[in-house]
Every structure is written in C-alpha cells, then in structure tokens.
Structure 1
Amino acid sequence: MNEKTTAELEKLRGHIDNVDQQLLHLLRKRLDLVAQVGAVKHGAGLPIYAPQREAAMLAKRREEAANMDVSPQLIEDILRRLMRESYLNEKDVGFKQVKADLGPVVIVGGAGKLGGLFAQMLTLSGYEVRSLDKDDWQQADSIFEGAGLVIVTVPISITCDVILNQLNHLPDDCILADLTSIKSAPLDAMLTAHQGPVLGLHPMFGPDVGSLAKQVVVVCHGRGSEHYTWLLEQIKIWGARLVEAEADKHDKAMQLVQAMRHFSSFVYGLNLYREEADIDALLQFSSPIYRLELAMVGRLFAQSPELYADIIFAQQESMVAIGDYLDNYSQALSMLRQGDRQGFIDQFKQVAEWFGDFAPQFQRESRAMLQSVNDMKTN
C-alpha cells in the first residue's frame, strides 16, 4: 500500500471514529431517557414491556431507514439490542408494588438460582422476602409467621413430598404457589395440603435471564383465583407474558418441549464424547446453524445434571414421547440404509406441508439468529 492510500485510509478511519463517538453519546442519551421512562412506569404500575409500542416503533424506524437507503433489518437489529439493554436498566429503578398489605413472601428453595431470581424481582417490587432452605426447617414456624405468599421452588423429585409433609399448616389466607416445570402432581399436592388459594406457575426461562421482559410464565389455576390476581398483575408488570393452561395439557406439551428435547441433546453430547470428536475442529468447519446447534448442546452440559435428570425423569409419560422419537429415528435410519432417497423426499414434503406457514416463519426468525451467531464467531 502506498503512502497516499495509507493517508487516505487513516483520514477516513478518523471520520469513522468520530461518528462512533457520536453514536456512543447518543446511546448514553437514549439510556438516560429510558431510565426516565422506567421511573414513570414504576410510579404508574405499567409493565416494562409494551408490545404494541415496540412493534409500532420498529415499523416506523424500518420505514424511515428504507427512505434513507439504510437496511431496515439493520436498524431493527440495532434497536432490538438497545431495547434489551434498556429492559435490563429499566429494572434497576424497581417496580410498582401491586399489593402493599401482603405479609412476607417465603420462598422455599430461595437459595436456588430460580428462587433467587424471584426473590430479587419481589424485593424490587417492595415485598418482604424470606428464604427457607433444607437446613432451615427447624426455624420454619418463625419463617412462615404472617406469610402472605409461599412459593415452592425445590427439585422436582422432592416437590410433592415437601408440599404434602411440610406445607400443610399454612394460614388459610396464605397463597401457596410453585415454580415447577411439571404442573399436575404439584398442583394436586398443593390442593391437598393447603385449604387456601393455590396457584401453579412455570417460568419458561432459566434463572440467568437479566430481565423478565418478553419471557413467558405459564399459569395453571388451582383455587381462589380472586386472591392471587394481584400476583399475576405483578408478574406482568415485570414484563412477562402470561399463558394460561390446564395442568395436564401443560405437562403433555412439556414431554415434547422439555423432556424429549433435553434427552435428544444429552444423547447428541454423549455421542460426540464417545466418538471423541474434536470440538475445535468441528467449530472450524461449522456453518452458523451447526454452531448454534452445538452451542445449545454445550449449554446443556454447562448446567446441573441433577436439574436435567429431574426434568427428564419427572414424568413417566415422557418415555413414550422419547420412545416415539427413537422409533421415528430408527425408521428414518432404515430409509437411509436402504438408499431410499425418494422416500426421504416424500416424507420431507409431508412434514413441510404439516408445518405449513410456520416453516417460512421459522426460517425468517432463524436467519436473524444465525446472523448473530456468525457475528460472534471468534474462531
């Protein structure tokens, strides 16, 4: 490169650096404005996530970007990342307390990560939160004294035993709820052990989320819904979306969404281990979609084996779903061994037709994910 070219590049790079600095100042200004919005929402008790406002704003910015010959997807990607940061910052100002006269909240299993997350959200909302863990049962009477809400978040394998044997003397006006990923058995146990309001909740996210904005919480009603309406409203203020479901329907879905999916990831990782796969080499030759799949398998093995054992072994019926998956895999493998290429194509078309409009929708959604994965590549 000659001196003239070098000088020209340095000059242009200097201009880019100046623009980047202006962007940083604008980002700081936007975050400050978001903090002011959060304070107003806190006072009014408004959810931190307003889907209609977000959709309208993104549509307007996309239109403006197109008029300026800027990629609409570029501005949407930038704004979505900014909004995610905004939700994290908005949480710092706290949330409006829906039920000011509630007694203490006791979280059974509060030392766990999910219990800790809900303790944080309830504390940010102004409630007194107490934690009760396995070594605290001798002080249980004093911990439960005056409790207005008891939330159970212990391993699935002991949830029903804890409810039936330890939570059968709560005050009648106390709300008893759980955060377990299966709902029928814990809900039945709570209804048996407690005569007051009962509510089953399943947060469809891990405890490492920075904000509940856009997260889903499944609600399975038990008894006395008029007494816990405030709690559902509080969760919505945190930004979560509530999905109501019958407990048995929820558990049936979890056999596919959780048990079968996690078991498949476990077997995938087990196979990589037994094949002594070179993960560094796999990453070198990976397309973004395979890298994402590998990341999801690796994510599983970065977490508690007891947690995933509980999820997979929680429902006896999960073995049926996992067995059906194995049968379908075996049938597809037989097709491959027989060299039945046309049979594969025919079945592919049948499944694609069954997916219908969801297939192109998922293709669009995954495209954005894959672009993000590719942007983060370091090797």
Structure 2
Amino acid sequence: MNTSETLRQLDQTLIALLSDRISLLATLETPSRQEQLANYQSQLTQAGVPAYLWDSIVTHCMAALANAPSRHTIVEPRNITVVGGRGLMGCFFVDRLSAGGHNVSVLEYDGWEHADRLLGGADLVLLCVPLKATVAVVRRVAPYLSPTTTLADIASTKVSIMQTMMECHSGPVMGLHPMFGPGPSSFLGQKVVTCPGRDPEASQWLLDLIEADGGKLISCTPDEHDRMMVAVQAIRFFANFTLGAFLAEEGIDIERSLEFASPLYRIEINTVSRLLAQSAALYIDILLASDERCEAIKRLVKTSDRLAKLLAQGNRAALIEEFETAHKAFGDSPRALEESNHVISHLSTFLAANAMKTRAKVEPIYS
C-alpha cells in the first residue's frame, strides 16, 4: 500500500473517531474543556503530539457540540416575502427560510406591480434593503399589509426604523439585526439581535427557526441596540477605516509588512483588509447612520489628538496615567487573555501549516 493510500485510511479513521467523540460528549455530563486538556499531558509528550493539537481537537469538539442545531419541526408553513431578497443578506434569509419549510417569495425594486399579491397575503414581510432605503421602503410596503402580517427588518439601526414601522403598520412588528455579514451558510454559531415591537408572540416562530438553525438571539430595546452599535460598529469601523487610509497614505507594503509581523499585527491588518474588501457604500452608510455615531467618532478623534499631543511633548508620565486609566476601565480580564491567546495560537499553527506546504513544493526531498 502506498503512502498516500495509508494517509487516506488514517484520515478516514480519524474522522470516524472524532464523530464518535462528539456523539459521546453529547450523551455525558460533559467534562470541561480544561479537564479534557489536563487529562493526557504525559501521553501527549510520549506520543510526540503537540499540546496545541490536542487543545484544538478538544476545543473544536466542544464547539461542535455547543453549536449543533436542534431539530425543528415546522408546525405551519408560512407565506413570506423578502423585500430585497436578491441582495447578499436577502439571499441568505430566503435560503434559510425556505430550508425551514416556508413558502418564500422575493420582491425587488423592479417588481412593484406584483406588490399586492406578494405583500397582501404574507404572514411575514422581511425588509432586507440598504440601510438608507429602509424607512422609505417601510412606508411603501405598509399600505399593502394585512393587520395580521408581521413586518420585520434587518437594518443596523433600530430606533427610527422601528418607530416608522410601528407608525405605518398596525400589525406585529419585529426588529432584527444579524451580527454577521454575507458568508455563513446558516445561522449556526451566529448572533442575531432582536427588538420586539408589537405582538412579539406573532413572530416567535421566526425566532424559533433562527435558534433551531444554530443561531443565538440577543433581545434588547431599540435604544439599547443603537447605543451598543456606536461601539460595536461605528467606532470600530471608523478606527479600522482610519488605519487602512493611513497605511495607504504612508505607502506601506502590506504584504511585506506581514513578513515582519507578530500574530496580533497580522490579525489587525486582516481585520482592516476584510472591511476594505467589502462595499464602501454599506460601511459609509453605517458610519453616517445617526448623529450619535458621528458625535462619538468626533470624541474618538479628540482622544487620539490628546494622546498625540502628549506624545509630541514627550510627556511620559501623562501617557502612563492615560494608559492606566484605560486599563482600569477594561480591568484584568481572564476572558480577554484566554480568547486572544486562543486566536493567536490558532493563527500561528495555521501559518506554520501553510509554511510547511510551501516548503514541500519548493524543497526537493532526498531519500
């Protein structure tokens, strides 16, 4: 038997064993990740298996167990119209709602002659349109809706949009905000913020579907949502955008810089690159979505300016004081250290594996 065939058989055995391990974990009072990691240190050393590899196996088995979607039986298929259903997020919702056994139709900007049929008999009308168009689309769809139709949106701001939905539609209203972009094939492991508006029981089936597909729901008021999004979206996006613009102006060779980079720098550059690779209009609209966001960004710039002036003055003591003040706000977080260490370790092993693959292609192997 040749080496490739032996490797293939070993891989098949490993896959079967991992499946058995995940299934067994599901039937037990699952031991903690730390317990599973501590059990076999000596055996790992004797077998020549790196500790990080066992850590990865245990962690991913636990993740598979935690994220396994529950089985969900559709009690009653609903008639759903997704407005903007040909967009990236619209397509995602069309796919997941259809997979859940519902009858899903799409209404686009060029199909309003069918609005009466597509909207009038719908149990759910879900708005998956660009942020800046959402309020106008709410006003346009509302006259077609039955009082029993649930009207929902997926926009990244909630106060003004939900207020408009509540004013224009007398029936059930629900605000949703998927905390992920295009890419995932299901809700598995993804967060969705929910803002109940009116008659939340009418849309409980939709929330059940998201959870059954592996999603995690975070319920809040529209006001709390918009306050949180100032930090979670606007400030973060602006900081990444600013760093990207600065590096471009400086003429930094990004790929070359990665050869010198620590894992943390690489993670940050990848985050910036990921943002800049997507729709400019989408992210600029998110930044401009409210006065609150713009004012917070102004305050961020003032903070940066204050710290830059201290640097220019060489005021070491003041800078240390600023650093320690920020540290007190964040605190000594074991969570932050554990999570960031895991990300760094995972990236480091990924890069090492890729480096081995590259070397294998260019270095001759002598027998």
Q: TM-score per shorter chain, which class?
A: 0.7 to 0.9
Q: 1:186 and 1:369 mapped to 2: Cα distance?
A: 36
Q: 2:249 and 2:108 mapped to 1: Cα distance?
A: 38
Q: 1:145 and 1:33 mapped to 2: Cα distance?
A: 50
2:12 is the counterpart of 1:24: yes
Q: Cα offset for 1:18?
A: 5.1
Q: Cα offset for 1:146?
A: 2.1
AA partner of residue 14 (structure 2):
L
Question: Contact between 1:87 and 1:213, CA under 8 Å: does it hold in 2?
Answer: no
2:217 is the counterpart of 1:229: no
Q: 2:65 and 2:185 mapped to 1: Cα distance?
A: 11
3-state SS in 1 of match to 2:176: strand
Match of residue 241, structure 1, among 204, 213, 216 = 216
Matches within 5 A, 1:1-379: 21-28=9-16, 30-31=18-19, 56=31, 58-59=33-34, 61-66=36-41, 68-69=43-44, 74-81=53-60, 96-102=72-78, 104-358=79-333, 360-377=334-351
Change (3 A) 1:108 1:321: same
The aligned residue for residue 364 of structure 2 is none
Q: 2:225 and 2:177 mapped to 1: Cα distance?
A: 9
Q: Cα offset for 1:136?
A: 1.3
Question: Contact between 1:153 and 1:180, CA under 8 Å: does it hold in 2?
Answer: yes
Q: Cα offset for 1:142?
A: 2.0
AA partner of residue 366 (structure 1):
S
Question: Contact between 1:169 and 1:194, CA under 8 Å: does it hold in 2?
Answer: no
AA partner of residue 340 (structure 2):
S
Q: 2:28 and 2:206 mapped to 1: Cα distance?
A: 24
Question: Contact between 2:189 and 2:215, CA under 8 Å: does it hold in 1?
Answer: yes
Question: Contact between 1:107 and 1:119, CA under 8 Å: does it hold in 2?
Answer: yes
AA partner of residue 317 (structure 1):
E
AA partner of residue 22 (structure 1):
L
Comparing 267-276 and 62-71, the one that deviates more: 62-71
AA partner of residue 192 (structure 2):
V
The aligned residue for residue 44 of structure 1 is none
Q: 2:56 and 2:234 mapped to 1: Cα distance?
A: 32
Change (3 A) 1:112 1:80: farther
Question: Contact between 2:172 and 2:203, CA under 8 Å: does it hold in 1?
Answer: yes
Question: Contact between 1:65 and 1:72, CA under 8 Å: does it hold in 2?
Answer: no
Q: Cα offset for 1:145?
A: 4.3
Question: Contact between 1:61 and 1:75, CA under 8 Å: does it hold in 2?
Answer: no
Q: 2:71 and 2:93 mapped to 1: Cα distance?
A: 13
3-state SS in 2 of match to 1:168: helix
Q: Cα offset for 1:99?
A: 3.9
Q: What is the CA RMSD across the aligned residues, in angstroms?
A: 3.0
Change (3 A) 1:31 1:87: farther
Change (3 A) 1:211 1:53: farther
AA partner of residue 237 (structure 1):
A
Q: Cα offset for 1:152?
A: 0.5
Normalised to the residue count of structure 2, the TM-score between the two structures is 0.85
The aligned residue for residue 10 of structure 1 is none
Q: 2:275 and 2:191 mapped to 1: Cα distance?
A: 20
Question: Contact between 1:31 and 1:86, CA under 8 Å: does it hold in 2?
Answer: no
3-state SS in 2 of match to 1:317: helix
Q: 1:215 and 1:54 mapped to 2: Cα distance?
A: 25
| Count of aligned positions | 346
Question: Contact between 1:236 and 1:242, CA under 8 Å: does it hold in 2?
Answer: yes
Question: Contact between 1:199 and 1:223, CA under 8 Å: does it hold in 2?
Answer: yes
Q: Cα offset for 1:323?
A: 0.6
Question: Contact between 1:148 and 1:174, CA under 8 Å: does it hold in 2?
Answer: yes
Q: Cα offset for 1:140?
A: 1.4
Q: Percent identity?
A: 32
Question: Contact between 2:189 and 2:214, CA under 8 Å: does it hold in 1?
Answer: yes
Question: Contact between 1:95 and 1:125, CA under 8 Å: does it hold in 2?
Answer: no
Q: Cα offset for 1:19?
A: 7.2
Q: Cα offset for 1:55?
A: 6.4
Q: 1:131 and 1:86 mapped to 2: Cα distance?
A: 35
Question: Contact between 1:198 and 1:223, CA under 8 Å: does it hold in 2?
Answer: yes
Q: 2:28 and 2:207 mapped to 1: Cα distance?
A: 22
Q: Cα offset for 1:251?
A: 0.3
AA partner of residue 344 (structure 1):
L
Q: 2:120 and 2:225 mapped to 1: Cα distance?
A: 33
Q: Cα offset for 1:268?
A: 1.1
Q: 1:374 and 1:105 mapped to 2: Cα distance?
A: 45
Normalised to the residue count of structure 1, the TM-score between the two structures is 0.82
Q: Cα offset for 1:223?
A: 0.2
